[in-house]
Structure 1
């Protein structure tokens, strides 16, 4: 498959900070902490590969003995890096569960400013919290305050990051492969296996998203040599406006592009640009990742926006809030919540996804139903709080 890689000139201060943090973040590594007594043989030689997971964690068993109440403050905090739609949905889930369990909910947005994020984390810890959910931004800056929270017995909940007590984990390679393979299947069925492809990558954000990139390309290769990636753009500015601007430039240079892939926000922007310029065609294939509302509305329209690889952010946040309360009460919680990619490619699948996210309490109460979206692995409690993640866990 031919490739033409395009990188936008210049990186923002935010991107440089993120790149500078990689050495301390452990995102490219894959060994578990000594507390887990297991090892991971991942190597980055020869380009990004899907890291092999350590020895498998068992399923979460909530029936294991609980300890006494911890005496921790009945507060749950969510330190969000941005007011993005999916992070707002996660926060709404944490807030709903906290309210039901009698916890005070705290949140703050840092606007992708590492220094501001640090001040917010410090404020949460000084005020007193029993659980603290966070998103990676700059590991070098974040790590000391997170380590301090862990020493105080706080349940630190990392969204695909560490150090943490409970980690939301995802196999980024599989997410990418799922997206690329679906596009390849469409090309085989509808385009005789021949199409030019544009991809919005996020390689500069983290090595984990480089793995997603590799997965997309491998998924596309399943259609054979007829698919040609003619535009592969690193787009760290995640906005519909940027997606539209990039697509307008790319389509002028490559007017025969038929497949557009990336995150929902950027791909929706690309869709808008082509629609408004009259260049949208019925035989095009758009798909995104994240399950943004506008993307789901487009999927329901049964047009060229064919699929969104979604994550149940509201359900995820609701689970984090419930497990925050359980931790404070000395109960067992899982070590890992697996964020499975959910392919939404029809009006019916979108409706089911929306309905389940709108009813988190009912879905969470039915563990089988909840784990269709978010499998739960391992056990930890305040009594065993020395068991901590110091590397990212990559599920099979």
Structure 2
């Protein structure tokens, strides 16, 4: 009887051990899954749309999302990547401050088999799972086409660029100039009278525009490469008392602040990029890869459209 009891106990222990192994056989499913989201600058209100989309989609799929703010300082992101890796994240979604600062840290992540998706801007490193981005070149061209229809007689243009060297700065500017700059389009009736840098931020844009308003008394158009800078441009125009000049202010993003200014008649139009789609889609990319090894396209361009009213 005692022998039988021992045999039954041994069988029971084997069964329990097997169940324990089976429940842990899903690997990381029993552990808390984490995604790191590294944002270049949450001081830009429009980037909150991207952050919220990643957080909401991540939570829906069972991930904790660790959010890092680069505060418009690309040098912060390498240590933020390292911190995320130390915390055992399953994947990294990064909106890079620039194309090179975080490259080495992201190489470490890729070496550790942590998938990396870059959003809005690219990064100079091989092995990234996907680069998911607004079609900025097309967006810049759409701005130029809109302006040609708005002002077929042409006019004098200020071009306000974002952070120099970033893909959005190059591509939005390149697309816009290909339509508006007479040196690139012989049919253009416009004149680029000045180019300045606003670093995709409101205060630098406002200061730069104040200087330009003091320098030029014949500005017809300002194209700011994002809506945050466009807000700074409008503020500078108001401070200078130039509201009645009829300056056409164009932004890029589709931010709430831009629509508010459009409604007030202080801004004309914005090129809309779908950050909500980009954010949620980036989470789906890493989730599909982690679950099934499914890889998305290496580069995905998201469409842009012009809008002068809220959807």
TM-score (norm 2): 0.79
Call closer, same or farther: CA 1:208–1:100 in 2, change over 3 Å: closer
Task: Check conservation: 2:134, 2:273, Cα contact below 8 A.
Answer: no
- Distance between the aligned counterparts of 1:99 and 1:245, measured in 2? 40
Which residue number in structure 1 is paired with residue 252 of structure 2?
Answer: 289
Q: 1:102 to 1:112 in 2, by over 3 A?
A: same
CA distance in 2, matches of 1:320, 1:69: 23
Q: Which has the higher Rg, Structure 1 or Structure 2?
A: 2
Indicate which of 40, 52, 75 corresponds to 1:81: 40
Is the aligned partner of 1:199 residue 2:163? Answer: no
1:155–1:166 CA contact under 8 A, matched in 2: no
Aligned to 2:283: 321
Partner Cα separation in structure 2 for residue 184 and residue 94 of structure 1 = 36
> What's the secondary structure of 2:72's corresponding residue?
coil
Q: Contact 1:289/1:308 (CA < 8 Å) preserved in 2? A: yes
CA spacing shift, 1:113–1:203, aligned 2, 3 Å: closer
1:106 and 2:55 matched? no
Cα distance in 1 for partners of 2:102, 2:252 equals 27
- Does residue 180 (structure 1) correspond to residue 144 (structure 2)? The answer is yes
Report the counterpart of residue 54 of structure 1 in structure 2. none
CA shift at 1:136, angstroms? 2.4
Counterpart-to-counterpart distance in 1, 2:204 and 2:116: 34
Instruction: Give how far 1:158 is off.
Output: 1.0
What is the match of residue 132 of structure 1? 92
- Structure 2 residue 231 is the aligned partner of structure 1 residue 271: no
Unaligned residue ranges in structure 2 (runs of 5+): 1-24
C-alpha contact (below 8 Å) 1:93/1:315 kept by paired residues: yes
2:169 alignment counterpart: 209
Aligned residues: 275
1:261 aligns with 2:223: yes
Distance 2:75 2:223 in 1: 33
Residue 122 of structure 1, CA deviation? 0.8
- CA contact under 8 A between 2:197 and 2:208: conserved in structure 1? no
Kept in 1: contact 2:139–2:305 (CA 8 A): no
**Superposition RMSD on alpha carbons, in Å?**
2.6
Structure-2 separation of matches of 1:116 and 1:304: 35
Whole-angstrom distance in 2 between the partners of 1:322 and 1:225: 42
Note the C-alpha offset of 1:135.
Answer: 2.3
Check whether the contact 2:142–2:305 (CA below 8 A) recurs between aligned residues.
no
1:79 alignment partner, SS class: strand
Listed as ranges, the gaps of 5+ residues in structure 1 are: 1-67, 352-396
Residue 257 of structure 1, CA deviation: 0.9
Q: Is the 8 A contact 2:37 2:67 kept in 1?
A: yes
Alpha-carbon distance between aligned partners in 2 of 1:207 and 1:278, rounded to the nearest angstrom: 34
Give the SS at the match of 1:329.
helix
Matches within 5 A, 1:114-129: 114-129=74-89
Distance 1:196 1:86, change over 3 A: same
